[in-house]
């Protein structure tokens, strides 16, 4: 049994941040040749096959990756730190969206709002549970409610990725309400 999580994490690193790590190039929309991905990963000691890549795509609970229709190309759906256009359509958001973060980041957020940091976009979710799960990865989670309707009315643009993640350039403090800091489980 292959370590699908390890394969998936490395694919995220390569397809979102460092394609040059395995000598690969992404096209302007973030697509990579699957054979090049496999070859590059094998040179880095992964010993993966097309079936391993398909397993990583199929079992990733966040649906981070997408194949082209012919399965000859692959890309990360969002989360890039390198300039690509993942073709997420501009979409009118629901009235409220949510962002999960950790308590340790709240001082910065209270001062500057949400910024993409090392990524191209701020990631938002349509539900509180997903936001809480994201926040829990970094410490004691805090869920922020975003007044997306007001942001949209004020000219901010939103994009919806294929896996349901909402993307925007930034979220000023004015549109953020702290919902709760979740209790540790």
pLDDT digits (tens, 9 = 90+) for 52-80: 999 999 998 788 899 999 999 999 988 88
Predicted confidence at residue 87, as pLDDT, reads: 80
Q: What's the predicted TM-score (pTM) here?
A: 0.72
Given a cut of 70, whether residue 181 has pLDDT beyond it is no
CB atoms within 10 A of CB 92: 10
Overall average pLDDT of the 4-30 stretch? 93
Predicted confidence at residue 129, as pLDDT, reads: 93
Q: Give the gyration radius of the chain's Cα atoms.
A: 18
Given a cut of 70, whether residue 27 has pLDDT beyond it is yes
Please state the length of the chain. Answer: 185
Predicted confidence at residue 107, as pLDDT, reads: 94
The token duo for 70 is 């012919």
Q: Which domains does the chain have, with CATH numbers?
A: 4-76 (1.10.10.970), 96-181 (3.20.170.30)
For residue 184, what pLDDT band results from cuts at 50, 70 and 90? very low
Percent of the chain with pLDDT over 90: 71
Predicted confidence at residue 11, as pLDDT, reads: 95
Predicted confidence at residue 1, as pLDDT, reads: 44
Mean pLDDT, the chain, rounded, equals 91
d(CA 116, CA 138): 16
User: How far from 26 is each of 23, 59, 152, CA to CA, in Å?
Assistant: 10, 23, 31
Contacts of residue 129, defined as CB under 8 A and 6 or more positions apart, other chains included, come to: none
Contacts of residue 70, defined as CB under 8 A and 6 or more positions apart, other chains included, come to: none
Residue 168 backbone phi and psi in degrees, to 5: -150, 160
Of 134, 138, 116, whose CA–CA distance to 125 is shortest?
Answer: 134
């Amino acid at each position: 049994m292959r370590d699908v999580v390890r394969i998936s994490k490395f694919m995220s690193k390569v397809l979102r941040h460092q394609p040059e790590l395995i000598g690969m190039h992404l096209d302007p929309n973030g697509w990579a040749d699957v054979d090049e991905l496999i070859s590059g990963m094998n040179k880095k000691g992964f010993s993966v096959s097309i079936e391993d890549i398909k397993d990583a795509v199929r079992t990733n609970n966040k649906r981070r990756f997408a194949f082209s229709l012919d399965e000859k190309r692959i890309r990360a759906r969002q989360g890039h730190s390198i300039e690509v256009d993942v073709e997420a359509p501009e979409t009118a958001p629901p009235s409220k969206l949510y962002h999960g973060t950790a308590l340790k980041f709240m001082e910065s957020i209270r001062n500057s709002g949400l910024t993409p940091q090392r990524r191209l976009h701020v990631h938002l979710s349509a539900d509180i549970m997903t936001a809480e799960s994201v926040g829990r990865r970094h410490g004691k989670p805090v869920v922020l409610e975003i007044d997306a309707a007001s942001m949209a009315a004020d000219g901010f643009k939103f994009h919806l990725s294929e896996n349901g993640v909402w993307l925007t350039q930034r979220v000023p403090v004015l549109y953020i309400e702290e919902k709760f800091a979740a209790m540790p489980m």
